[in-house]
Structure 1
Amino acid sequence: MDGAVYAAVAATPTPALDRGLRRLSNAADHSKISLTVAAALALAGRRPRRAAAVGLGAVALASATTNLLGKRLVRRARPDREAARVSVDRQVRMPTSASFPSGHTASAVAFASAVGMELPAAALPLGMLAWAVGYSRVHTGVHYPGDVAAGAVVGLASAAVALAVVDAAPWGDRPLARLRR
């Protein structure tokens, strides 16, 4: 099923989306989008600064889990863009790492989820951005949809761990404890 969905995305002509999704996929390299948003949040006050810090902690955890554990354990080959006839106009550089799970998606979801829990007003726009990053990885031909889904699970788990660590920390107020009341 994973290959069939990948092939269906590849076969669907979307010239109006190709350039934008290619740019988005490249912009998400090395969590540049999350770092940029975190920098803006850090300038916006104490609570947004805290959200940025928790979000970046979640990104660090997601990235380490994905790259040091997930990709090494599963070692799934990247999709064959040529066989699927992914349009050259969509393509980004094919990574040399394993395909499963998607690190871009894991990091984007980790950041969006952690920041969204700290700043609920940011949850929807950052969640939509994370979804778009994940889809862009399939659209550009570098991941199967299952890789993206697994990356999202890693991202959610990483955000939960980062938030739990902050909640249990002896310093600062406890936002999750506040939410549970």
Structure 2
Amino acid sequence: MSHQKKVLGEERRAMLLEILRSSSEPITGSELAKQANVSRQVIVGDISLLKAKQEPIIATSQGYMYLNDSNNVNQVERTIVSYHTADQTEAELNLLVDHGVIIKDVSVEHPVYGDLTASLHISNRKEVKQFIKQIQSNQATYLLELTGGIHMHTIVATNEQMLDEAVEALDQQGYIVRS
């Protein structure tokens, strides 16, 4: 931490909200901590308090985002059911972003916990690579590994045709589960 003064309590949380609201990109907890001159753990606590006050903040693999209603103007979304191995995750995600689709989240139906959903908000190959690197460097497992490869994604695009083309590309690779 630098020699600048720490931003305290409610003032800090108001500052965090302003930073997140004004950004169209995710911001890491470390970056927020640097701006507030506090530890990342303090930021984690602040974000939890803000979420408890119903602020629409999500944690993605790239950082925190404030979900503005204006972010969703002229967008359509669809939930798809996918099946593949963990080793095929990068290929699946790249196929989606290559079709101009944003991968909003991934979810699985766990036999004990029920629905488990993780926010992703991945929109390009760089973000795919960062996500895969985070999984590997943390020795984490993909949610699909809890369900033998079956998982769901909420995907977002500016029109239905983009979603259709992305799903068709996944289907050609054998990644789509049909009912």
What TM-score, normalized by structure 2, do the two folds share? 0.29
What TM-score, normalized by structure 1, do the two folds share? 0.28
**Greater Cα radius of gyration, structure 1 or 2:** 2
**Higher normalized helix content (fraction of residues):** 1
**Higher normalized strand content (fraction of residues):** 2
